[in-house]
């Protein structure tokens, strides 16, 4: 019972800080590129949510950077919260998948914890979360085949009555496609490599 009390106090304190405008811009995107080339966005109530990738096309095996950003367009500080942690979630599917029951190729985070999460949103100060995928599938632990893949991402919500996290910001999540089929660039031959290949001892 004590842990529940502490959890409620943490939520209350964070929510009060958000209401008082003390929440600053926060980014959990260490190591991410400076620029993201493609993005999709939506407005849900007073929130603008944007999903971006650093590129639209990638060589097989290249790292794909994804970024989620949520901005409070209202005039008052607010907080979004969930019993699941973290609230951000990224899922990746083959673009050919049209069913809602397709198995994910990759997810981030791989595990969901139920210690609770809260994100304070001061007016006009975006909160960002990032993930990086290296082309390896969750199942089989091997590099995926070349093709077009679809990223579905958003901020989730869960509760005691609905313990499975569902996309809530925005509802259903945002979706963006990437072309993961460019051939890997061939390394240029050096004079030393040519000698090793053709010159006999």
Q: Which tens digits make up the pLDDT trace of 160-176?
A: 778 888 999 999 999 99
What is the pLDDT at residue 9? 32
Alpha-carbon distances, residue 88 vs 74, 92, 93, 110, 149 (angstroms): 21, 14, 17, 12, 19
Tell me: the pLDDT tens digits for 45-74? 999 999 999 999 999 999 999 999 999 999
Query: In the predicted model, is pLDDT for residue 137 greater than 70?
Result: yes
Q: Which is nearest to 19 in space by CA: 31, 11, 8, 9?
A: 11
- Quote the CATH superfamily of domain 2-198: Intracellular proteinase inhibitor BsuPI (2.60.40.2360)
Cα 73 to Cα 185: distance, rounded to the nearest angstrom: 43
- Domain residue extents for the chain: 2-198
Q: Determine the distance from the C-alpha atom of residue 46 to the mean position of all C-alpha atoms in its chain, rounded to a whole number.
A: 21
What is the pLDDT at residue 17? 40
Q: Are 50 and 68 in contact (CB under 8 A)?
A: yes
| Averaged pLDDT for residues 127-136 | 96
Tell me: the pLDDT tens digits for 86-129? 999 999 999 988 666 788 899 999 888 988 999 999 999 999 99
Q: Determine the distance from the C-alpha atom of residue 56 to the mean position of all C-alpha atoms in its chain, rounded to a whole number.
A: 15
Q: What percent of the chain stands above pLDDT 70?
A: 77
Q: What percent of the chain stands above pLDDT 90?
A: 62
């Amino acid at each position: 019972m004590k842990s529940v009390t502490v959890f409620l106090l943490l939520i209350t304190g964070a929510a009060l800080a958000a209401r008082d405008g003390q929440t600053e811009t926060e980014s959990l995107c260490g190591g991410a590129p400076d620029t993201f080339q493609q993005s999709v966005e939506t407005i849900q109530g007073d929130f603008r949510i944007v999903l971006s990738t650093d590129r639209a096309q990638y060589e097989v095996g290249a790292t794909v950077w994804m970024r989620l950003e949520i901005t409070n367009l209202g005039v008052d500080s607010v907080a979004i919260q969930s019993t699941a942690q973290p609230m951000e979630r990224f899922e990746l599917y083959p673009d050919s998948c049209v069913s809602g029951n397709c198995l994910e190729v990759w997810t981030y985070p791989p595990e969901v914890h139920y210690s609770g999460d809260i994100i304070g949103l001061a007016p006009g100060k975006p909160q960002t979360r990032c993930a990086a995928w290296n082309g390896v599938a969750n199942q089989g632990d091997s590099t995926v085949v070349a093709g077009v893949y679809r990223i579905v991402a958003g901020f989730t919500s869960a509760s005691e009555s609905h313990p499975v996290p569902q996309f809530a910001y925005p509802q259903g999540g945002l979706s963006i496609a990437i072309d993961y089929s460019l051939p890997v660039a061939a390394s240029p031959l050096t004079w030393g490599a040519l000698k090793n290949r053709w010159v006999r001892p």
